[in-house]
Every structure is written in structure tokens, then in C-alpha cells.
């Protein structure tokens, strides 16, 4: 960055809107607006396009549970076939299962009296309301139903890695909007290193208490290790921080880092948190390559992702 | 909020994307996603539509300067005709004037060595780079040129309120993408209570030192007071916090509060700041009516506003 | 930063707490904790110490209004004698006047129903509750009382800059906890470029309508310009963003930038806002010197400032 | 909240600082400042005091890894004896082990060129620098040394829950500043539901490939389930979000929720994330009791925790 001319070479242009614009036209019209997060969003779109077009790249898609509580679940499910592996948290399984069983989540509000909600047996997840019968009970029933079916099948193995178990669930779920279902149909493994942390995990615990069932987390780790060593080129779209982000970049360090990385977050870096860390910090660790194409987009996934996926036609 | 059935009545629906979607289709497809900020963005769109359709409503549009450093400047300029008054900061005048004079702003990056930029005479505004000659000098030259023309005109008054002065500037600026120009052409006053805080203000100071020129801030305040007392119905789209937000809600308290209010911000409320305060806090002050239609949207304006304005066809 | 040894030279040490620690001992014990914001807080303390010890440095203290709504008002008032100029917003005057008149502010909560507060005539400022009679009416009465006294005095001038007017108020306020009072007693000018934006400003407007009174903002700007040109060395403690921060760094650019700068904020930089901009961005503009000692501390002022002022014995 | 008098009963008082104040005096002087986060910090202190004084309460302490990279590690280690269980992430084990082995972490900076750090084999964690030989290699060596010792001991079991394994490590670590050590010495179990996500986890994977070793996560879950069912009264101090926070509140829902809860975070709630969710949201889920004493403190742990622990004499 020593060439002034070059630094000042791409000029900000005033945006002009017009009637009936498509999402693609709108985004393209913003390519030179020099917007703050908008510029990163457009970089993210371009990096994702390159990553998904790179046939040699093994591409991860990571996300936490809250996204799956929203209607982005359907959009995420539809997009899974474009990725090679999913990394997520237990809550994703809970919401996916509850919804696949017919559980209804409702549009709510952040500004409510949670005591009153408690008295009405309504759970609040941000500005989403969930009747308690639409969630915990739904997960319990559907889990038990499917798990018993797995147990009774002639292929039952007594020991499962999370990805193997989730594949068996995907095989049996019928809802086409389900993430587990789409992952199964498209042969995309779902890794879930913190699988015990939620309703699905608690159900596994309960099931294991009176059935011959073991959970083998290390097996998935070996698979992830193999992915890291087998793929010279890797990429990741990471929604939100926490364990689903960290576990993607963690394993990618062993191959010298991700080649493509797009991270969308609302977290700040000043507190030293993994969630707040920009991807550039991951470069110092070798979790993202120095020459990688990467960008961190600050903002709410529910606003940004639909624009990105619509532009990229990830459905 | 005591009716459980009602609280759970609007169900979250999975989004389905499709090829070639228009912005309008994308937004409408998200109406039931129960997205976190997305839900607020859609509420904001609906409130703005209602507000702009309400012919009796006097509508404010407030924004700070950084937005005008981006290419949103053209979009904002095009939309001004839909509002009744603008409230902004001195920096808006600076960027608008610099650009109207031909100043070029460039797409840059947050992650650079500011010492190196300093040595190359490049100013950084977030991820926008500005060659020093494209800004300060441009403002100085264009200000002097126009101000001298005002001074020599037969209508010269020796004392100006900010809105009167900005109107004279708008009359003389030729760039159709200019906010001052579009405000003039559409007879929309621009209020700027902190007009001394920037290059435009410093130029006023310099000009006043060797010319018979007085700045009368109180006159604009009386105008704002009259707007408050004359309009039973008022609304506001407020981008970002600070003085431009506060001055809109401040004057609207004297009429019992805004009837429509949409606020887009990245600030947090926990620190008690005016910028972080949700609009609901303004209800306690009578700055927003209890029955007003209002929403606070968390997020970056450069991502959110193009979607909103495109949907609303504000151009 | 090319010397690895040097980059790794200051080791993180585990903190040990002990009984009855003084604030000074606690802070000193944290000097090597490598804490995220804690490290910046300690840098800030050290820079402030150096700045206040530098007898040649002209030192600004800027802050917004919300801080003055809290009990930090007394602490800020006590510290003013250590600075050479104050930069603030209209709301500071409002809260200072209301409290000097006996207005009571109360400990409240963020999580309340603002509609109910409205019905009880309680204003909410973050988690502070203010009975409406403790604020607006108090400001109105005390302003009128003092302003009439100024008007009737033999020194009445018909035209005042904000700093001149605030000095006259400080002369007449009796509350020793008052910021205006302490500034007057210690001969520290208070600059307020956005003085019209609040209750004090509205009172000025009303007073000017039936009295011979003019507000001259440009005069204060000339004073600030002179400060910039007369002082080779300058420093600033800036609490929060907005106009009070910007106006300090704005005028300091004309002398080549601040030599000492400490900025405490909760704002994020990703949205390109002035409030979110780290001080390093100001280096590119020449508002902070390249060789300046400066730091940006992320966090809530009500938690950080008492520790800093206690350590520095700024009372 | 229908009684106006009561809502306005606790008045904000101006703080007065004085020479040589102790931390306790400083905090106590702030009890009536009505500070924004300061008020929550003080509530947090009071709730923690009550919780730790309640002999019937089973108290959790949860935290993520980044805190342990700082010198707060020693402070956290010293405080563990005051709690009944620890919930944390794999990174905590990594940093604790690396440091116990003599690894040196260094005070760094957020604003550096991560490419240069990479070339010098320096990892960056926020503003902490870590020479690569001080971390990964240290963890590997010390893990192997201790794990081999466990393997060779006559009590070796072939299958371990994370808490059992960590107890064996604590038994063998000699560094008194170590969290694992102090937990062992004080008989406090460390739960780590995402134990595979980091260096310690990877070492387990490697070890298990050529040794007869199984990791049993479900066993710890059953223990947590028992804690939930056995303890009528529970409390938690939760630093930061993610899996360590969620797993504490998750299990506490089965007993009707936490009775005491203090959560310190920098995350925002608007994005619907678990990390950003205020504790009041957890009330709707029954993860925190309606009548619980709880507060959410926004801010950086490295600034807030030393003040709290010093006040509470948690050492």
C-alpha cells in the first residue's frame, strides 16, 4: 500500500435506484458506493462465488442455532447442496427437528415482559415466540420416534459419531425444508462438536441410559482431520461465532489455512473474543491463508444472507 | 399482551428464494421469516410507506455526514423530494460540496496503516479514502466561489440562518447529485444546528472575519418550533444518532411527539447514550407518541437503506 | 514491528488480588495482565497522567450529556480545574442546571414499559428515571431566573458567545457540584457548538424573542481557532462521540493534531461513523499527531472513568 | 411498577472521590451514581455476594478461553474454591496447560499487520501475542507427558468423561496458578461439553488413535442432570456467551431455573443470538427463575471482573 495513485484508483460513485430493480441489479449498483458494511457484503458475495465455482475447493458452511429458529431455515436447507460439509450447534438440530415435526414458531418482539411469557408457557428467542409445546415436546417426540426406528433397524451399530447419527435422522425426516433432510439427500455431513449442548443432546443422554448406545465424538474429529489433510483448497462461509466458527477454522489450520473465508458477525473485537475476532486475526494463526480471499461482514445475518444467497442463486 | 393465541398467531415461514427475484419480491418473501433485524427492517419499510402516504404528515429526514461520504449521497439526494425537511450535520455540507466541486472519494479499507496514509496525504473515513486535495481544498474553493456570489448578489442580507444560507448554496450548485441542490429544487429546508462543526462552519468563520456576515441560528429554531406547533401529524426517518437525530425528536416533543418514526442505528443502549436509545425511550419523553408507529432497526445504513429505498421507490 | 523479540518482550502475568486493595494497587496489579480493554484503560491512565503533567499542553475535556445525568456529574465537576477547556453538548447544560436547581434524578431500569412511564410523567434516560417536573420545568425556571439577572446586570452585552453566556451562568449558580459553577470558579471556558439542541437552547430561543439578545457562535469558533494556533502542544480526554468529540479533534487539526488523546467509546468502527472511528483514523486527517500518545478505550464511561479519575486523583 | 413515588425513590447522588480510596470504597461510592453499566456491575456484586453466602446454593462459574489467555487466569484460578462447578471451553484447557508448562504470552496490540505476525510465527489473540512455540508445542508436550502418566497409572480406566480426565490433569499439574490445578485441589469439577474444539481435544484424538482410550461425554451430562435435580437452589456467574453460558442455563432449566445469575457480556441482543440474549430472555424459558436475583452486565470482563472479585475478596 505505498502507491497513492492505486489507493485512490476506485472512485465512489453515487447510486441511482430505479423501478423494479432485481436484487442482482441493486447489489451491482452498489459495487462502487464505498459503503461501509455494504462494501464487505459485496466482497463476500464475490468471494463466495469464486469459492463455490472452484471445483477443487472443499467448502464448509457453519452456523449457530438462532438462524434456524427463523425462516432462514428453509433458505439454508436449500443451499446445503452447494457445500461439502456443515458445522453447527445442537440448537440447530432442536429447531430443525421441532419444525420438521410441525412445531410452529411465531413472530414476536424483543420488548416484552418475559415474566408474562413464562406464565403463558411461551419461550422467547430474540423476537421469536415459541409455544413450549411446539419445541421441547416436539423434539422429544420426534427424536424418540426416529431414534427407536434407528435402534430397531438391522443396521443399528451401538456406537455413532454425531455426523453418522444425524445422517440417520436425515434419512427418516420427511420435511423437505429440513436441514438434516437436505444434508442427507445431498450427502453432506453435518458436524456438531457440541452436540450435547441442547435438547437433542439431552435426548441422546436419556436414550443412552436404557439402550445400548454410545456417542463417539472422536470419530468425527478424525474425519475433519482427514478433510484437512486431503484437501489442498478449502473454503468456508461462517455465520456467527462460537463453536461452529471456531471448529471450522481450527481444523483448517492443519492444512495451512482456509483459501476462501466469509464471516458474518455482530460481535466486536475489542474484548478479545473468538466471535469478535476479524478473519485477519486467523491469518496470524494460520487458520486462514495469507493469500486467502476473505472478508468479515459486520451485521445481522437475517438482513445480509437473503441478499447474498439471492444474488448467488444458492437455492 | 395477555392473549396467548394472539401472541402466537403469526407463524414463521421458511423463505424460498428463486431466480431473478426483484428487491420487492425478496423483501416480501421475508415478511414471515421472523428474522431478527430483518423483521424490524420490514416494519420500517411499512411505517415509511404509511408516513409518506399520509399527506397531512410533515416528514423529517435526518442523517449524519458519513453516509454522504459514500455513494448513498446520490440516493439520498434523489429521495429528498419525498420529505418536508432535512436535519443534518456540518460534515454533510462538506462532503456534498466537495463532491459537487468534483472531489473524488475512493474505495478503501479499514485495515491500513494510518501513518502511511498521513504521509501520502490521504484521509480515511472508515473504509473510504480521500485525497486531501479532493476535500478540504475543494470545500474551501467552492464555498468561497459561491459565498462571494451570494455576497455580491442584490439580495444579500448580512444575516442568515443556516437553512437560508444552505438554500442560497443549493441555488448555485450545479451538480444534480447534490443534496443541497435537490433540497433547493424541491423547496425542502435543510436544518443544521451544529453547522459550525466542520469545514463549512470554519469557512463561515473565516468569511465573517472580513465580511459583514452574521449567522443566526435562533431563526431556524423558531422555524422548527413553528413546524412543531403547526403540524398535528409528523414523521421522521432518522439515520444514525447524534445531533441530527436528537434535534428532530427534540422539537417534536412540543407537539406531543412524532406519529411515525424509523431509526436505523448501530449503537447500543446499555451506555445510556442518546444514539443508543431505542425509540421506545423517546416515548417516555413524549418525543414519540405512545400510539405512534415506530421501529428501531439495528444495522449498517449502507446495507439497509438501499433495500428500503428500492422497495419504496424513493427516487 | 519487525523485531520478534521485542514484540514478545512484555509477558502477561497472572493477577493476584489481596485484601483491602486500593484502586491504585488494583490498577497497578493489572499492568501486565494483557487484558483486552483493561490494557487500553491503563494506557489511557498513563497518557492522561503525562498530558496533565505537561505544563505546556492545553488540555480539552469533552463529554456528552448522558454522563451528566448520572452521579458522575460531581466527579466531572471536581475534575474540571485540571483541564483548560470543556467541550460539550446542550444536554449537559440542561442536566447541570436542573440538578443545581434541586432536580432529583432517580435510579431506574432499562427494562420497563415506557408507555407506563409516560403516563406517570417519568422520563427515562437509559436506566435513569426523571420526574418531568425535576427536569424541563427546573431548567426553565432556573434559566429564566439567572438569565433575567444577567439581563438586568450593568454588564449586559446584548450579544454573547456560548462560552461567555455559560460563564455568566456559572457565576450565578450556587451548587458546588455544578459543572458550570466549577468551570467558572476555575476559569475554564465551556464550548458548546450545538448549544441550540436541547432545553437550554430552547430557553435561549424563547428569551431572544422578547429581549434584545443575540447568540454569537462564531466568536467561540475564533477562540478555538486561536487556541489551535497558539498552543504547540495540546491534549484531550474525550468521553463518547458525537459533536463534542468531533469539535475537539476538528480544531486541533489546524495545529497539526493533538499530542495526547484518550477516547472512551462504546461505538463500533465498522459503520464508518465518527463516533466509532478509532483515534488512529484521526491520524490520517492530522487531527491526532503521528507521534501523539493516544488510545481508544472501548467501554462504558460509568465503569471506566471512576477508576481512572480515582487513580489519577483528579478531584 | 405502578407506583410513581417508588419508581423515583432512590436518588442519583454525585460521586466524590478522595485520596487513596480502596476498591471497596470506590464501588460503594458509586452505589447511587445511577451509572449505566456501573449500576449493573454493582447489582452483580450484590447478587454474587448473596449467592456465595447462600450455603444451600450450588454455584456454577462459566467462562470462555480468551479470558484465560490474559492474566485473569491467576485470579480465576484463585477464585475457583468459592464455586461448586466450572463450565468452560477447550481453549481454556489449552491456555491453562500452555502456561502451566511455562509458555509465555505477551502484551500486544489489536492494530498490527497479521501477515507480518504470521511470518514471525506469532499468534494474535486480540491484543495478546503468543509465540507459536509457547502454545501449540507446549500443549502437545505437556498433554503427552501427563496423559502418558495417567495411562501408566494403575487406576487407568480406558474411558473418561471430560471432568474425570481434567481432574487427572489437575492432579499432575504443579503450577499453583493453574485453573485445572486449583479445581483439583478444591474438588471442583470442570465440565467442558465442547472439549474436542481446540488443542486439548486434538491431542485427545491423537492419543486415542494408538491407545485404548475412550471419551465419554454423556457421563458428564448425567452428572449435570443430577446436579440439576439434586439442588433446589443454584446460581451462576457467567463470563461471556457461547457454549459455556448456554450449557449452564440449559441444565438449570430442568430444576426450574437459576436462583442467582450474573452474566457479563459484550454481545448485543438485536441479532437473536444466545450470547446477546439478556438473562430476562432466559426467564421465559425457565432457565432463570422469575424470582431469581439476576443481572446482565455489558462490558469487557478484563475491566469489570477485577473490580468485582477485589470487592468480593474472591481469592
pLDDT (tens digit, 9 = 90+) per residue, D32-55?
A: 999 999 999 999 999 999 999 999
Q: 3-state secondary structure string, chain A?
A: CCCHHHHCCCECCCCCCCCCCEHHHHHHHCCCCCCHHHHHHHHHHHHHHHHHHCCCEEEEEEECCHHHHCCHHHHHHHHHHHCCEEEECHHHHHHHHHHHCCCCEEECCCCCCHHHHHHCCEEEECCEEEEHHHHHHHHHHHHHHHHHHHHHCCCCCCEECHHHHHHHHHHHCCCCCCHHHHHHHCCCCEECCCCCCCHHHHHHHHHHHHCCCEECHHHHHHHHHHHHHHCCEEEEEEECCCHHHHHHHHHHHHHCCEEEEEEEECCCCCCCCCCCCCHHHHHHCCCEEEEEEEEEEECCHHHHHHHHHHHHCCC
Neighbours of D (≥3 Cβ pairs closer than 8 A)?
A, B, C
Q: What is the pLDDT of residue A1?
A: 63
Residues of C with CB under 8 A from a CB of A: 36-37, 40, 113, 268, 270-272, 298
- Tell me the C-alpha distance between B180 and B169, whole Å: 7
With contact defined as beta carbons under 8 Å apart, do D32 and D13 qualify? yes
Q: How many CB pairs under 8 A join A and C?
A: 20
How does the average pLDDT of chain D come out, rounded?
97
* A126–D268 CB contact, under 8 Å: no
Which of D18, D27, D30, D36 has the most C C-beta neighbours within 10 Å, making it the best mutation to test the interface with C?
Answer: D36
| pLDDT, averaged across chain C | 97
pLDDT in tens, D154-179: 999 999 999 999 999 999 999 999 99
What pLDDT is attached to residue A154?
A: 96
Nearest CA in chain C to A110: C111
Per-residue pLDDT at D2 exceeds 90? no
CB A34 within 8 A of CB B107: yes
Least CA distance to B296: which residue of chain D?
D270
How does pLDDT run across C227-256, given as a tens digit for each residue?
Answer: 999 999 999 999 999 999 999 999 999 999
CB contact under 8 A, D268 and B37: no
User: Grid coordinates in use for D307?
Assistant: 473490580
Could you tell me the three cell numbers for D21?
A: 480510596
CB D138 within 8 A of CB D102: yes
Please check whether residue A209 is in contact with residue D222, taking contact to mean a CB–CB distance below 8 angstroms: yes
pTM of the model: 0.97
Which pLDDT belongs to residue B2?
72
Specify whether A49 is catalytic. Answer: no
Catalytic one among C81, C287, C289, C291? Answer: C287
**How far from D171 is each of A149, C126, D93, D145, D200, CA to CA, in Å?**
44, 48, 14, 13, 17
Q: What is the pLDDT of residues D99-144, one digit of tens each?
A: 999 999 999 999 999 999 999 999 999 999 999 999 999 999 999 9
Q: Give tens-digit pLDDT for D261-276.
A: 999 999 999 999 999 9
Q: Sheet of A128-131: strands edge to edge?
A: A105-107, A128-131, A122-125
From the list A99, A245, A255, A287, the catalytic residue is A287
Indicate the residue of B17, B71, B126 with minimum beta-carbon distance to A33: B71
**Closest approach of B280 to chain C, Cα-based (Å):** 6
In 3D space, the residue among A215, A249, A226 whose CA is nearest the CA of residue D209 turns out to be A226
Smallest Cα distance from C40 to chain A, Å: 10
Cβ-defined contact of B71 to A9 (cutoff 8 Å):
no
Pairs of CB atoms within 8 A across C/D: 253
Cβ distance of C300 and D37 shorter than 8 Å: yes
pLDDT digits (tens, 9 = 90+) for D222-258: 999 999 999 999 999 999 999 999 999 999 999 999 9
In three state form, how does the secondary structure of chain D look? CCCHHHHCCCECCCCCCCCCCEHHHHHHHCCCCCCHHHHHHHHHHHHHHHHHHCCCEEEEEEECCHHHHCCHHHHHHHHHHHCCEEEECHHHHHHHHHHHCCCCEEECCCCCCHHHHHHCCEEEECCEEEEHHHCHHHHHHHHHHHHHHHHHCCCCCCEECHHHHHHHHHHHCCCCCCHHHHHHHCCCCEECCCCCCCHHHHHHHHHHHCCCCEECHHHHHHHHHHHHHHCCEEEEEEECCCHHHHHHHHHHHHHCCEEEEEEEECCCCCCCCCCCCCHHHHHHHCCEEEEEEEEEEECCHHHHHHHHHHHHCCC
Tens-of-pLDDT digits for all 315 residues of chain B?
679 999 999 999 999 999 999 999 999 999 999 999 999 999 999 999 999 999 999 999 999 999 999 999 999 999 999 999 999 999 999 999 999 999 999 999 999 999 999 999 999 999 999 999 999 999 999 999 999 999 999 999 999 999 999 999 999 999 999 999 999 999 999 999 999 999 999 999 999 999 999 999 999 999 999 999 999 999 999 999 999 999 999 999 999 999 999 999 999 999 999 999 999 999 999 999 999 999 999 999 999 999 999 999 999
> D154, D287, D289, D291: which is the annotated catalytic residue?
D287
Cross-chain residue pair A268–C113, CB shorter than 8 Å = no
- The answer to whether A218 contacts D196, with C-beta atoms less than 8 Å apart, is yes
pLDDT reading at D1 higher than 80: no
Which residue, among B230, B283, B280, has the nearest Cα to B57 in the 3D structure? Answer: B230
The nearest alpha carbon in chain C to B64 belongs to C273
Instruction: Verify whether the Cβ–Cβ distance B114 to C217 is below 8 Å.
Output: no
In this prediction, residues D208-217 reach a mean pLDDT of 96
What residues pair up with C88 in beta bridges, in sequence order? Answer: C63
To the nearest whole Å, the CA of A212 is away from the closest chain B CA by 37
Q: Which residues lie below 8 Å from residue C59, measured CB to CB, with a gap of 6+?
A: C51, C52, C82, C83, C84, C85, C234, C235, C236, C237, C260
Task: Give the C-alpha separation, C107 to D39, whole Å.
Answer: 8
Chain B residues within an 8 Å CB radius of D271:
36-37, 298
* B:C CB pairs within 8 Å: 189
Using CA coordinates, name the residue in chain A closest to B108: A7
Contact A209 D222 (CB under 8 A): yes
| pLDDT for the residue C1 | 63
Mean pLDDT rounded to a whole number for chain B: 97
CA angle, residues B229, B231, B237, in degrees to nearest 5: 115
- D198 contacts on A by Cβ (under 8 Å): 246, 250
Q: What pLDDT score was predicted for residue B73?
A: 98
Query: What is residue C160's predicted lDDT score, i.e. its pLDDT?
Result: 98
Question: How close, in Å, is residue B299 to chain D by CA atoms?
Answer: 9
ipTM passes above 0.85: yes
Mutate to test the interface with C, among D294, D303, D311 (most CBs of C within 10 A): D303
Indicate yes or no: CB of B266 within 8 angstroms of CB of C273.
yes
Q: What is the pLDDT of residues C265-314, one digit of tens each?
A: 999 999 999 999 999 999 999 999 999 999 999 999 999 999 999 999 99
> How confident is the model over C34-52, as a mean pLDDT?
97
B110-124: string of b/e by CB count within 10 Å (b at 16+)?
A: bebebeebbebebbb
Structure confidence at residue A264 (pLDDT): 98
> Contact, B276 vs C266, CB < 8 A?
yes
Average pLDDT score over residue span A54-60:
98
Amino acid at each position: 500500500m505505498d502507491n497513492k495513485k492505486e489507493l485512490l484508483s476506485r472512485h465512489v460513485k453515487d447510486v441511482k435506484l430505479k423501478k423494479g430493480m432485481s436484487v442482482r441489479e441493486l447489489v451491482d449498483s452498489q459495487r462502487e458506493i464505498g459503503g461501509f458494511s455494504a462494501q464487505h457484503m459485496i466482497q463476500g458475495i464475490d468471494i463466495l462465488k469464486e469459492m463455490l465455482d472452484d471445483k477443487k475447493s472443499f467448502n464448509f458452511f457453519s452456523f449457530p442455532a438462532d438462524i434456524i429458529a427463523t425462516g432462514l431455515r428453509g433458505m439454508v436447507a436449500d443451499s446445503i447442496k452447494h457445500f461439502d460439509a456443515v458445522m453447527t450447534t445442537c440448537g440447530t438440530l432442536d429447531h430443525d427437528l421441532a419444525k420438521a415435526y410441525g412445531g410452529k414458531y411465531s413472530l414476536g418482539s424483543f420488548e416484552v415482559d418475559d415474566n408474562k411469557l413464562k406464565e403463558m408457557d411461551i419461550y422467547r428467542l430474540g423476537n421469536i415466540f415459541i409455544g413450549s409445546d411446539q419445541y421441547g415436546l416436539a423434539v422429544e417426540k420426534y427424536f424418540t420416534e426416529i431414534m427407536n426406528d434407528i435402534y430397531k433397524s438391522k443396521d443399528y451399530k451401538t456406537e455413532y459419531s454425531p455426523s453418522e447419527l444425524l445422517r440417520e435422522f436425515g434419512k427418516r425426516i420427511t420435511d423437505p425444508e429440513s436441514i438434516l433432510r437436505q444434508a442427507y439427500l445431498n450427502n453432506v455431513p453435518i458436524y456438531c462438536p457440541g452436540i450435547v449442548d441442547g435438547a437433542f443432546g439431552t435426548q441422546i443422554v436419556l436414550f443412552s441410559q436404557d439402550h445400548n448406545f454410545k456417542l463417539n465424538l472422536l470419530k468425527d474429529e478424525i474425519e475433519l482431520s482427514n478433510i484437512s489433510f486431503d484437501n489442498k483448497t478449502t473454503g468456508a462461509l461462517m455465520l456467527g461465532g462460537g463453536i461452529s466458527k471456531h471448529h471450522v477454522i481450527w481444523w483448517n489450520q492443519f492444512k495451512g489455512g482456509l483459501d476462501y473465508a466469509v464471516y458474518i458477525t455482530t460481535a466486536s473485537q475489542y474484548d478479545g473474543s473468538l466471535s469478535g475476532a476479524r478473519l485477519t486475526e486467523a491469518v496470524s494463526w494460520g487458520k486462514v491463508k495469507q493469500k486467502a480471499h476473505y472478508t468479515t461482514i459486520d451485521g445481522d445475518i437475517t438482513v445480509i444472507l437473503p441478499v447474498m444467497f439471492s444474488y448467488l442463486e444458492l437455492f
